[in-house]
Structure formats: C-alpha cells, structure tokens
Amino acid sequence: MFTLEGTPFGEIVGTFGPDEMVRVVSATDSHFFDRDTMRWFGTRNLEMVGSYVMIAVDTKAPEGYPRYWARVFRVDGSSEKIAEAHTRRGIRSAATKAVRALVAGTYEVQS
C-alpha cells in the first residue's frame, strides 16, 4: 500500500492490485467490500486503473441495467465515486483520465 496526498479527496490509497485494495479498505472496518454488500449490488470484475482508481460493475444497479463505476479510497476506508459509465470501455477511459489528473495534481471535482 502507498498513498497520494494533496488530492481534492484528501490522502488516497494506492495498491498494486484489487485484492490488496480490498484488504486495505476492509482493515479499516469499512463495509464496502463485505460479501453481503457486494452480493446486494451484484458487484463484479474489480480492477485497478493506475494504482489509485478501482473500477467495477454493479450488475444489480437500481436503474435495472449494469452500471460501471470508478472510485478512489481514502486512508480511512471511505470512498468517492469519480466516474460512472454504461460500458467497460467508457469507465476505463474515464478512470485513466482521472488517474493522470490526480497524479499531476490537476484533477477537478465534477459537480
């Protein structure tokens, strides 16, 4: 685990893979990656983009169709959604742009 400071979200966690991110976040007593939570939303296909952003798909999204999301995780285990898309290609593109901006210090929070 490593961190990136000075982001609009505060200090965020970086890892070398999704399994490590799940362990780090779960160690903070966050319920984000609990089996029941993931089953409820149908969360699948955890993947890291650029070490700081995790992407996945919620197959049971309230809208009735799969929803892909990209999130950053703070050191306290809380998270911030930074992108959402309806396709895997769309979320990878958005996540890659976000990682570049976070690392460069130019990321701006979308309203």
Overall number of domains in the chain: 1
99 found inside a domain: no
Q: Going by C-beta distance under 8 Å and a sequence separation of 6 or more, which residues neighbour residue 67?
A: 57, 58, 61, 84, 86
110 found inside a domain: no
Residue percentage of the chain with pLDDT more than 90: 68
pLDDT digits (tens, 9 = 90+) for 78-111: 999 999 998 989 999 999 999 999 999 999 887 6
**Residue numbers of the domain that contains 71:** 2-86
Question: What is the pTM assigned to this prediction?
Answer: 0.86
Count of beta carbons in the 10 Å neighbourhood of residue 74: 18
